[in-house]
Every structure is written in C-alpha cells, then in structure tokens.
A and B are shown apart, each in its own frame.
Chain A
Amino acid sequence: NAGVTQTPKFQVLKTGQSMTLQCAQDMNHEYMSWYRQDPGMGLRLIHYSVGAGITDQGEVPNGYNVSRSTTEDFPLRLLSAAPSQTSVYFCASSYQRDYYNSPLHFGNGTRLTVT
C-alpha cells in the first residue's frame, strides 16, 4: 500500500490564483481530513469527511472547499489564494468512520507559498 499520497509536494501561488491540493489513499479508509500546520500553531483541522458524499467543516474552514466523490480521494480547493494561506497542508485518513477510536494516517504534506 502507498498509504496517503499528497500532490504536489511544493507549490507557489500568486494572490488570487486558485488551485487544488490532491489527496488519495489506498487503504479503503472511510474517514479523511485536511490539516494545516503553521509555525508554533500545531495542526489545525480545515475540513473532514466521514465517507463518500459527506463533508464537514473543521476549526479553520474559511477560504477552502472540499468534496468527496470517491472513498479514495479528498481534494482541497483554494478558490482565491491569500498570503494567510501560506502553510504546510497535511491530508490524513482513518480506517473507521468513527474517528474517535482509530489513529490517523498522514501524508507527507504539501508546502504552499502564496505571494
């Protein structure tokens, strides 16, 4: 298994541009989520999904959209990038819909810079 795969690894955007961060997992995990990690801030939850067709907001959802059309994929969209969205983004998945009771598996992140 490849686990959780994130692409691209690095991205530079200009303010106002849009882009999609890709996340795919091959473990048949029901639960998937996106976090951003900023220096000194730890990891903050952006959006999550407990299964195909179901998404919900996390702690910091503004400026981001998600969809979950398949079990395997959970893309994160930035519609109009802002410098405040400069961060490292991590996708994570879990094998149980009940995410309270199973550990998360993380990708290796996408480092995004918005100028």
Chain B
Amino acid sequence: GESVGLHLPTLSVQEGDNSIINCAYSNSASDYFIWYKQESGKGPQFIIDIRSNMDKRQGQRVTVLLNKTVKHLSLQIAATQPGDSAVYFCFNTDKLIFGTGTRLQVFP
C-alpha cells in the first residue's frame, strides 16, 4: 500500500548537535513533500518543502534531502536548540497523508 512513515518515533539530541529526522514513502504521484513542526498544544507549522526535481533544499538551520531512488526524505536541523523540541511530520500531498511523527527531544 501507499504510506508515509518515519523510521524513529523519538530522537534525543544534545543542544548544539545536529539532528536528522527520516521519512520513507512507498508510492507517490505527487512531486511535492513538506516537513511540519508541531509544538505541544499547537497545530503543525510549515518548516520547509521540496519538489521532486530537487535533491536538496536549505532553509534557516534546516535542510531537506530527497532521495527518489530509495523513496527517502530527511530533515536535518543544524545546531539543535531547546526550541526545536517538537514532533516533526513529513507530508506528501498526493494522498494528503501524514506520518505518525518523530518526537525530537533536546537536552542540555
């Protein structure tokens, strides 16, 4: 079946380290992928997006990598800060499906 899923439910990192959150997808007719961040008690917020004609896209402290060969998406956060603690979702617009999310915990 078609799905968007995440490799790890929880990721714990030390403040200042880089974080990598992964996401796999099986089939998609859409060429558009989005990463969202959800803080406790709030709705998901857009972080960064990427289209399938790109392999990499950079934002402020965040980078998204897309490997279409193995159908894998990753979100890299540089110099992780306590404010980055949240649940991160990848989203594929084809089936409007969210993964269950990865919880990022940042400790001092």
Contact = CB atoms under 8 A, between A and B. Distances in A.
Interface residues of A, number: 24
Given A40-B100, A42-B100, A100-B30, A109 B42 contact: yes
A77 interface: no
B97 to A, nearest CB: 8
A39 B49 CA distance: 25
Given A99-B93, A100-B30, A105 B100 contact: no
B106 to A, nearest CB: 22
Contacts of A109: 41-43
A106 B45 contact: yes
B94 to A, nearest CB: 7
A84 interface: no
B101 A42 contact: yes
B93 A100 contact: yes
Contacts of A92: 43
Contacts of B98: 35, 42-44
A82 interface: no
Interface of B: 30, 32, 34, 36, 41-46, 49, 89, 91, 93-94, 96-101
